[in-house]
Amino acid sequence: MKILFIAPYIGATYGGTSKIVTELVEAIGCLGVSVDLVTTHANGSKNLDVPLNEWIHQKCYRVQYFDCWYRDDFIIAPSLISWLFKNVNNYDIVHSQTVFAPMISVAHSICKYFQIPYIVTPHGMLEPWALSYKAWKKRIYYKVFENPAIQNSSAIQATSSFELNNINSLKFQNTVFVPNGIRRQEFEPLSNPEIFYQQFPETRGKTLILFLGRIDPKKGLDLLAPAFAKVYNQFPHTHLVVAGPDNIGFMDKAQNYFLQADCLDAVTFTGMVSGALKYAALAAANLYVAPSYSEGFSISILEGMASGLPCIITTACNFPEAAKAEAAHVVEINVNAIANALIECLSNPQQATEMGDRARKFIFQNYTWDRAADKLIQVYKSVIDKKPLPEFLG
């Protein structure tokens, strides 16, 4: 069995989707399946410094980068498309990442032409909020390109139970539920927070609330600003860390939310954090917050929970299982609900700690990349053998 992953980008600037793709490809390859990844060198304002048009061997898989033209996350890569046209017949199945991407739409057409089955992972781009954002553009593109291509796919991977229901409501068939995961070894033991304190000394000695995600309209920073202002008025020892890249030029507007809420002085915008610095930020934090309007299935939430943090997430984060397991506060998408949950955790530190402990065990038991890879391999085998898709419960 030979699998080809295709993604418009895997640069860290683009947030969780990039990490999901690379972690999943590696996990599948480490289970003995031949898997390749083709992508572009796009990475926001600065291209990835990588060799182009040649295979680079990573642990358990190969990756090849192609030159491209892009603006924000709109990416066109003629050389990748040309390569795909010549090489797609070498693979048993293609697994595409994200939708509303011209390059991916063309890839689907090539697969159809050569009768190569393909699987689609939307990464939350078919969620109601995502479809309504810039709706007039998406409505046309969806009708002409996206809907027919997805209908023709052999399987559609939903990464949360809510996303599964939303995709099914769009009248698509052949959906499977395979959630994202984490590498357990990256959180055992927890990192030393000192690396984070040294780089951002204003956070030392504070009770830190961590937002870890892209600076983007859908992430709910307009809700977090007034919510944090309420928290800060009651708990002046708190400090908010907004950690994440700004790949669409939204930073000024995001910072203005906190300026208007009169709490900007108690907020640190770190920019992109990755590797040791990201794990140090998770270790330094006391609480994690995700005030999103829309998500697929957030890796950073899993990382927050795996770090043992009390987590406040909205219903749009598509993780009702966390609420059922009493492993996170899952709240409505509004300022008061977010503020009240943060205040409850700060007012009851022992209960918050116990919830964080439950979260850590819950993630380790249920949401790892090994589990996700094993399920996807079962899906691939079913597609290739033209058998019914397996039914997973998460």
pTM: 0.85
Secondary structure E strands in the chain:
2-6, 34-40, 55-58, 61-66, 69-71, 74-76, 93-97, 118-121, 155-158, 175-177, 207-212, 238-243, 267-271, 287-290, 311-314, 329-331
Topology (CATH level 3) of domain 2-181+368-384: Rossmann fold (3.40.50)
Evaluate whether 238 touches 209 at the Cβ level (below 8 Å). Answer: yes
What would you report as the CA-atom Rg of the chain, rounded to the nearest whole angstrom?
21
- Count other C-beta atoms under 10 Å from residue 86's C-beta: 10
Contact present, 209 and 289 (Cβ < 8 Å): yes
pLDDT of residue 394: 47
Look up residue 311 and give its two tokens.
């987590």
Burial 367-391 (b: 16+ CB within 10 A, else e): bbbebbbebbbebbebbeeeeebee
Q: Give me the amino acid identity at 66.
A: F
- What's the pLDDT at 74? 79
Query: pLDDT at position 248, please?
Result: 87
Q: Count Cβ atoms below 10 Å from residue 393 Cβ, excluding itself.
A: 5
What count of Cα atoms within 13 Å lies in the side-chain half-sphere of residue 117?
19
Superfamily of domain 184-366: Glycogen Phosphorylase B; (3.40.50.2000)
pLDDT per residue as tens, the chain (394 positions)? 999 999 999 988 887 889 899 999 999 999 999 999 999 999 887 889 999 999 999 999 999 999 998 776 678 899 999 999 999 999 999 999 999 888 999 999 999 999 999 999 999 888 888 788 777 777 888 888 888 999 999 999 999 888 999 899 988 889 999 999 999 999 998 899 999 999 999 999 999 999 999 999 999 999 999 999 999 999 999 999 999 999 889 999 999 999 999 999 999 999 999 999 999 999 999 999 999 998 878 999 999 999 999 999 999 999 999 999 999 999 999 999 999 999 999 999 999 999 999 999 999 999 999 999 999 999 999 999 999 999 864 4
Instruction: Name the helix (H) or strand (E) containing 48.
Output: none
Q: How far is CA 252 from the centre of its chain?
A: 23
Dihedral sign, CA of 95, 97, 102, 105? positive
Q: Which residue has the tokens 């697929």?
A: 296
The residues that bridge with 63 in the sheet, in sequence order, are 37, 56
Helix axes 275-284, 299-306, angle to 10 degrees: 60
> Torsions phi, psi of 271, nearest 5?
75, -165
User: Do residues 334 and 317 lie in contact, with contact meaning Cβ atoms separated by under 8 Å?
Assistant: no
pLDDT of residue 178: 94
CATH 3.40.50.2000 residue ranges of the chain are: 2-181+368-384, 184-366
Q: What is the DSSP string of 235-254?
A: -TTEEEEEE---SSS-HHHH
Assess contact for 15 and 43: CB atoms under 8 A.
no
pLDDT at site 392:
65
pLDDT in tens, 162-178: 899 989 998 888 999 99
